[in-house]
Amino acid sequence: MKSTSKRMMIFIGIILIIILVILFMTVFQKDQQKQNKEEIITHSKYEGVDIITDVAYDDTYRSATHYPIFNIAKLDDEIAAYVQKSEENFFTDLKDKDPKWLEKRPASFSLSFDIYPIQDNLYSIVFYKDTYSGGANMQQDSNVYLVDMEKGQFIKQNEIIDNTTENKDQLYEQLKQGFMQSEDYQDFFFEEELHKWLYDESNTFSNMYIEEDHLVFIFNEYQVTAGAAGRPVIRIPLNDIKGIISKEWKDKLKIEEDESEEQEKPTEPEEGDSEDNGDTTESEIPDDAKKVAITFDDGPHPENTLKILNILEEYEMKATFFMLGSRVDFYPDIAKEVAKRGHEIGNHTWHHKDLTTLGTTEIKEEVQSTADMIKKATGEAPTAFRPPYGAINDNVRSVVDQESTLWTIDTEDWKSHDPDAILEVVKDNIEDGSIILMHDIHSTTVEGFKKVAAYLKKEGYYTVTVSQLND
């Protein structure tokens, strides 16, 4: 009898162990699936490369810096040194300026970049620096890096071109032709300066990069043209100058092969492709309810934005995300996820430049390129617009066909990086109809927003998108 009872206990014990193992494996698999899903969502479009954005401002200046990070020390250290030196030069220059004058016309600094994949693990990185700290004009210059991520090093441009007199002659003719035939540059072109630059023995072609099937040269302001030409860019088809390319790079770029076949373009999501997981509609909100709009600028971010989306879902809230085109380009899946969860996406320009310092063409480009990128990522055009720094004037209003959405509560989360301070700003200023400004590129903002969300829920506020608030 004891033996039977003992066997029964052993049998029950085995069954319990099997059940526990099954439960553990089920939870583990779900967790793994969740992790794998987030890996797909947070992956940058450019393999191995992420983008860092840093925005700062006060009454006397406006600064926006964007730069790539490769998680390779040698590459990241050199680019970080360039970024730091550029920022230091700007702020050093400000020390000599009259603060009262700057309060009337704030200085501005923008360091942005474009990235062009050459082939696997090879990238062209082109920096654009725009500085205004007084005077009539903005100062513009550029800097180029060619990156080999597999070797963890920068590529020297003079490795691409066989540096012979004959090749320089051919290149000179191609560049001269490019300037002379350009409606934008022909009236400002200094042929002698181009000749002087090209045939300088110390010339390493550091302003040259590869963009798809072109060899591209970007010149700094006043380098080979009058200042009105800005930063001239001349693109030369590789097939037109394949004779001057080194053998190693001919093989890498395959420029002798037939490149007439158009590369298959990625399928863009169709309009209406994004899902709506139940917007908080006006009909669901009592007429006498207190409503506020929560807004996040300067994203999307591969980790913080997702965490904020989860907090919004936890508290059944809606928000508006004013996105930078340059970051949507890197993280299109994040933008798509924001739209999928029923939140509003707004246009915050491509590079976060002070639009009041730009001409009509540049303003259009900053806004339209961002609208196009958001629509490409989400299937829908942005439905709101916020100018960087809230800087707006009649010229910007005449160019942008959307009303500008500013804010009533600036949490200054980018400055304090303190979750408790963020909450206190909201507590001290919140009222019915408030528009709260935060930035989803900062991890401390995630913690601060969780506190804000709990407070708003407790105080009976309903959160809506800015478009709903303005209706």
For the record, the structure tokens of 280 come out as: 């908080």
3-state helix, strand, coil in the chain (%, to 5): 45, 20, 35
Question: How big is the chain by its Cα radius of gyration, in Å?
Answer: 27
In terms of Cα–Cα distance, which of 160, 120, 325 is closest to 255?
A: 160
Q: What is the C-alpha separation between 186 and 375, in angstroms, rounded?
A: 35
- Which residue's entry shows tokens 């958001």? 374
In this structure, are residues 439 and 305 in contact, taking their beta carbons and an 8 Å threshold? no
Q: Which segments within 219-299 are labelled E, that is strand?
A: 233-237, 290-299
* Longest CA pairwise span in the chain (Å): 109
Beta strand 214-218 with 208-211 is: antiparallel
Name 404's Cβ contacts closer than 8 Å, sequence gap at least 6. Answer: 385, 386, 387, 390, 392, 396, 397
**Chain-centre distance of CA 62, in angstroms?**
17
Active site residues: 297, 439
Q: Is the distance from CB of 336 to CB of 375 less than 8 angstroms?
A: no
Burial class, 209, CB count within 10 angstroms (exposed 0-12 / middle 13-18 / buried 19+): buried
| DSSP helix/strand/coil, 52 | strand
